[in-house]
Amino acid sequence: MKEKIVFGLILSMIISSCSQETSVKKDPIIWPEATAPIAELKAFQRIIHGDTVQDPYYWMNDYFKKGPDSSKVVSYLEAENNYTKAMMQDTEGFQDVLFKEMKSRIKETDESVPYLKNGYYYYQRTEEGKQYYKVCRKKGNLQAPEEVLLDVDKMAEGFPYYSLGGVSVSPDNKMVAYGVDTVSRREYVIYIKNLETGEILKDRIARTSGSAIWANDNKTLFYTAKNPVTLLSEKIKRHTLGTDSKTDATVYDEKDNTNYIGVWKSKNDQYIFIQSGGTLSSETLYLRSDDPNGTFKVFQPRMKNVLYSVTPLADRFLIQTNDGAQNFKVMETPLDKTGKENWKEYIPHRKDVLIEGLDEFENFLVVSERKNGLTNLAIRNLKDNSQHYMDFGEAAYTVYSSANPEYHTDVVRYGYTSMVTPSSTYDYNMKTKDKTLLKQQEVLGGYDANQYTTERIMAKVRDGVEVPISIVYKKGTKKDGKAPLLLYAYGSYGSSMDPTFSSTRLSLLDRGFIFAIAHIRGGEEMGRQWYEDGKMMKKKNTFTDFIDCGQFLVDQKYTSKDHLYAQGGSAGGLLMGAIINMAPELWNGIIAQVPFVDVVNTMLDETIPLTTNEYDEWGNPNQKEAYDYMKSYSPYENIEAKEYPNLLVTTGLHDSQVQYFEPAKWVAKLRATKKGSNVILLKTDMDYGHGGASGRFDYLKDVALNYAFLFKLEGIRE
């Protein structure tokens, strides 16, 4: 979940002045006498591989198909919203306090650290009371007059949702291309603005991924076009300024619908690359940036079970690949000989180090690595191949190469954060090894990192593997099993959930909650094998890891079953659905955000966005072995007549990643099947999609609802 930061100024000052062992008022839990919606049942059968499954809630898929049940879908979702509002009505005042509390921690008038690109310093700034931001630049130095390229606050007026996509300035600094999504389905229209006159050109490029790449002639753009039904990225097209986008030439057409594609430009501005890749294999094509009408060449034809990506230097190409190297290695090859037969080893494979990325400069290479679950930056001198690592001094932290568009510099910009350290931006001179703190996220209201403690512990799970857990809590919180604890994880796609700071989280910690991240298999925290052991036919490791981490925290007296909560979104929502089927007794409450819970039906429907792209992650249920395994854990398929924990489910009607009907069907079936009196609440945002609200404050209302749900279950009223 993308968390920004929020808290009420007066209350935050009071809390920060309290003793470390904060006293929180607790009251008995009282749920209103509201009647939960009962979803209509309609006969529908799924028959495949000789297996017949009844799905009486299948009709809920109908909204985007505009079929006969389309209006019934909206009515049902609105009824669920009304029920959630009624059940949480007694917390509305508290939610408002939480919203203001969290919002008050945000420095409303703020500015990002400027970065230099092609003679201009670029930055974004925000203004008090405004939901969005302004994209700005200054020519030559920071004392120069400000030029506002895009005033997103003004552009977003009148739209309930507004997302600005890739912002790309032409090489001559005279034009800017940008994408706009006003529906929240990640389908962007690209516009071009003349920065000298302020004119928005007549060029309109619809159904794109949002980003456009300029060739060196300042009039040719390359972009990724999407399928209007599946929203898959299928084609790379070329657009010439002043022409109708309907006539744009297709320069690349991806025939493998399990691959994602994209287009980008090298930092040295010499090449334009097309990348096509899935979970298991990839392919790169390239073209000289000064030859936009030329033909893209294949760098190395795609190889079975081999991923590779290309980084151009002045005298050679570097290739990051897992060919015979599970945690990746780096190869090099001449500029005119790109085939694999010419590759030579540059950075060898290491079993205990995952190479995650390369950031090239004229004289240095920055290698992003991961070892023992922690991120590192290795600085390599391209002249003599000497290398050194940066030192950060905390037990659990996150470091990453930040905005570094300038090629001719010896300074790398990096970001640093931990669960108690606000997001910080540094410049590091790779030659002198001097570092400079440029900015640390300012948390209004008197945040003191010394009042909080962060830990990193290892939980041994059922097959003997040790899983890292990152923990943060306010000093004075006792480990006697009575503290409430919120456990978070994702566990899919090799996405690592690294320990980071969140000022919204302070509203939990200051009321006695412990917050923990379980770095479970399916992510890549402990290397590529960590990911391989949590996908496809090993997916259940993700779920059992999380359950065992929760039990470990109970056994170690961080919390108890009566006070243990879990949260996850999207594929992490699948995790939430699986764990309540497998171990419902372990959790008092669950927050499942945009949850991917109807795995089999979704993966059988190739008209749904992303389905075919996901076969390498989950399996293809058209194959019986994959079907049987997916069905054995899919949350929707495995609901039983038993007691489930209290549940808050959130979704968005326009979600293109996890369609609204998955959580809606799941909630309906759970409510009709479960035993006991625990509540199930469904909140659908009728204006937004997968990422929630687009404004920098609106999303805090969703956070406030989530926190109020947890606090209500704990009897915390203020």
Instruction: Please give the Cα distance from 210 to 223 (Å, whole number).
Output: 8
Dihedral class, residue 122 (left if φ above 0, else alpha if ψ from -120 to 50, else beta):
beta
Give the number of other Cβ atoms within 10 Å of residue 167's Cβ.
18
Whether 88 and 693 have beta carbons less than 8 Å apart is answered as: no
The structure tokens listed for 695 are: 């404004």
CB under 8 Å to 244, separation ≥6 — which residues? none
Instruction: Please give the Cα distance from 94 to 439 (Å, whole number).
Output: 33
Residue type, 186: R
Give the number of other Cβ atoms within 10 Å of residue 50's Cβ.
6
- Of 376, 419, 378, 422, the closest CA to residue 396 belongs to 419
CB under 8 Å to 427, separation ≥6 — which residues? 411, 412, 413, 435, 436, 438
∠ CA 649-651-653, nearest 5°, is 145
Instruction: Please give the Cα distance from 289 to 563 (Å, whole number).
Output: 58
* Packing angle, helices 92-103 and 699-714, rounded to 10: 130
* Residue whose structure tokens are 């320990």: 499
Helix (H) or strand (E) holding 237: strand 233-240
Residue 136 pairs in a beta bridge with 123, 148
| CA distances for 493 relative to 256, 479, 496, 497, 522, angstroms | 19, 34, 9, 11, 6
The structure tokens listed for 177 are: 């291309």
367 CB-contact burial (10 Å; exposed 0-12 / middle 13-18 / buried 19+): buried
- Please give the positions annotated as active site: 570, 655, 690
Strand order in the sheet with 329-333: 308-312, 317-321, 329-333, 344-347
